Structure 1
């Protein structure tokens, strides 16, 4: 059986280039067209370089998450992005891959968590939903309760959460039928 790897979609650089250009071009034009003190011009240019620097750092420190399904088991590679750090999710640390063997996996499911936050001073509530793939372990082994499920957030994957769930369940069926002895 060939392994199946479900990966995150590639980031598109064109919107980042457009945003950088829209922010930087007018300010540079204003600095060139108007006489400003040299100290202010240097300060403005340094400030403008922070935006593309942050965007570039997003590409350099972007570790893609992936789910690997193979005949040996399931591997969750959690990934990490510099934007996670800016979202105050703690320091930059890439979690180690979590490996699960098929004989201990009982089921897969999708969990969706929604949260509401204020969209600003206008009082509008913004609802964001995160989808998670949950993998449940069998209770056959003497595993602690916190080891009986695996969890990965499905935020930027190429496939929808429902497609990923279907792929996992189908692969699990194929592995179980493949592992049965032929009589």
Structure 2
């Protein structure tokens, strides 16, 4: 961790460095250290950028943010998302709790923290509003997490759709249960 702490000294206002160190601590189960990093960020006024996804439907850009409830169709999106998750679970989907970077009690609470990621909301919105056969194209401001990557792969197979997600690192072209990145992102 010494190297990561040195990075904080080099660029003390870069939120990404704090988030990286916090994620390293979270993956190691060092929740007190995670809390310490978050406290330092709050004291310095450094904010984490929320996950955000955009999709164009009918010449209008629709924006989704983690857990956001402001979209006019959010209630229907959540109903359809729950339905899709249930069908995916029956087809073998198991939420990957390794991507929960919060100290949450119980598996159900941990699964809930993954449920409303912005890209999942955007995918379901695209499934609801774009005609079958049309590729669903989504843009993200942060890298896609492994659980969402698996979710989208399985959704393309189940729904027989092609989905392209552009995150800051690469294009992910999902089709028939596979991704162009070869599961390396």
For the criterion TM > 0.5, the same-fold answer is: no
TM-score, length-scaled by structure 2:
0.23
Task: Please identify which structure carries the higher helix content.
Answer: 2
TM-score w.r.t. structure 1 length? 0.23
Max radius of gyration: which structure?
A: 1
